[in-house]
Amino acid sequence: MVVAQKKFLGDMNTNKKYAIMLYLSGGDGPKVKGFGALEHHESTSVVLPEGMPKDAIDNTITDVVSHEFFHTVNPLKTHSEEIHYFDYADPKMSQHLWMYEGGTEYFANLFQIQEGLINKDQFLERMGEKIANSKSYDDTMPFTVMSKNVLVEPYKDQYRNVYEKGALLAMCLDIELRKLSNGEMGYRDMIRKLSQRFGENKPFKDDKLIDELVTVTGYPQVKDFYNKYIAGNQPTPYAQYLSMVGVDIKKQESQPLFWFIKNPNETDFDQKTNAFTFDDHSALSPFAKSIGFKITDQVLALDGRTVDIKKVQDFIGYTRTIKDGQDVTVTILRDNAGKKEKMTLKGKAILDKMTMETLSFKANPTPEELKLQTQWLTGKK
Ligand SMILES: [Zn+2]
């Protein structure tokens, strides 16, 4: 992974040393509130659950550590004054999380396809998941405004979209640049030039970044893209951009389902409490919202049927029999200032549909689309 990253970055990478500190959190060790990693100039500290299978740990480390390592480029070495003179007591935020986090997350996926760690279909699947996940957030909230105000509501709630829509904005800008330059220049080249113009000890002015990007790329169209989709409130036309690189988006609607979150795949099981738990960035289903369910609540039982991991199919089977408008009783565990409290919530069932958008390579792309696709996925000119 590190060798592939160094190849991908070329002369943008100046690290002589980099340490990866991994803490696998088990049941008995210090209490861990969340999993993930934090970037530093020459190291990253990673926290993952010890109970994860080894393969899953390997894959997660590739995704998470590569993301943190790419932060050595952005924002650690290329950043605005807000980051350079960061005031920990009274933080002033930058407008550019789309680049610091989104661009970094895009790199963490792009280097894997360009360096052969994943295949073309796996890469598309990842981008498709980001499109699906981004739908849980406000698509018309300008990313620069969210970024600048991310410490307060309602912007705070949208933060995790930097890893979804943020990465997709970088992807579309990559395609836009390649289209404009006949494949010669991509997002990575733009960041490289920006990092050469600025660097670790020379921050840029936050509101001048877009003018700097026009200067380093030589394309004023970059500013139009920025004004519409990053600083503006227009949803990014993913289908239009993906079509330029020979990729189709197909929409499919799922059967109406009864569940607590919009995407049932983001459900987990807590072995200690014998309850279903949900990813904290998942969107609640209309039913869950209507009964005052919180994303951090755990589901112990439904209409008196307790959750048993050995008979999970029976439980799922029961949810399939639930009809729209039917009375439903949910037994939950709610965290109340560190104490888990058992509670009962009641309401009428609302069945919900999920729209799945699957990305696939066009069977018959035009020669122009195919050329751009190859340049996009290989990084070669
Ligand atoms: Zn990050």
204-251 per-position pLDDT tens digit: 999 999 999 999 999 999 999 999 999 999 999 999 999 999 999 988
Report the alpha-carbon distance of residue 291 to residue 185 in Å, rounded.
51
Give residue 8's Cα distance to chain centre: 21
CB-based contacts of 2, cutoff 8 Å, min separation 6: 18, 69
Structure tokens at 150: 């991310």
What's the CA-to-centroid distance between 38 and ligand 1, angstroms? 7
Among 300, 295, 260, 265, residue whose Cα is nearest residue 280? 295
What's the CA-to-centroid distance between 76 and ligand 1, angstroms? 11
> Which of 3-12, 30-39, 282-291, 360-369 shows the lowest mean pLDDT across its residues?
30-39
What would the pLDDT profile of 296-355 be if each residue is shown by its tens digit? 999 999 999 999 888 888 898 999 999 999 999 999 999 887 788 999 999 999 998 877
Residue 341 has what pLDDT? 93
Comparing 199 with 206, which gets the higher pLDDT? 206
Per the CB < 8 A criterion, the answer to whether 188 and 379 are in contact is yes
Across the beta sheet with 19-25, the strand order is 19-25, 43-49, 36-39
What's the CA-to-centroid distance between 94 and ligand 1, angstroms? 14
Report the alpha-carbon distance of residue 320 to residue 332 in Å, rounded.
20
Q: Is 125 helix (H, G, I), strand (E, B) or coil?
A: helix
Among 179, 257, 238, residue whose Cα is nearest residue 358? 238
Per the CB < 8 A criterion, the answer to whether 310 and 317 are in contact is no
Among 51, 29, 189, 32, residue whose Cα is nearest residue 107? 189
What's the CA-to-centroid distance between 351 and ligand 1, angstroms? 35
What's the CA-to-centroid distance between 338 and ligand 1, angstroms? 28
Per the CB < 8 A criterion, the answer to whether 97 and 143 are in contact is yes
Residue 271 has what pLDDT? 84
Phi and psi angles of residue 17, each rounded to the nearest 5 degrees, phi first: -140, 145
Let me know how long the chain is: 381
What's the CA-to-centroid distance between 359 and ligand 1, angstroms? 25
Helix (H) or strand (E) holding 224: helix 221-225
What's the CA-to-centroid distance between 105 and ligand 1, angstroms? 7
Per the CB < 8 A criterion, the answer to whether 377 and 120 are in contact is yes
Per the CB < 8 A criterion, the answer to whether 72 and 15 are in contact is yes
Per the CB < 8 A criterion, the answer to whether 302 and 332 are in contact is no
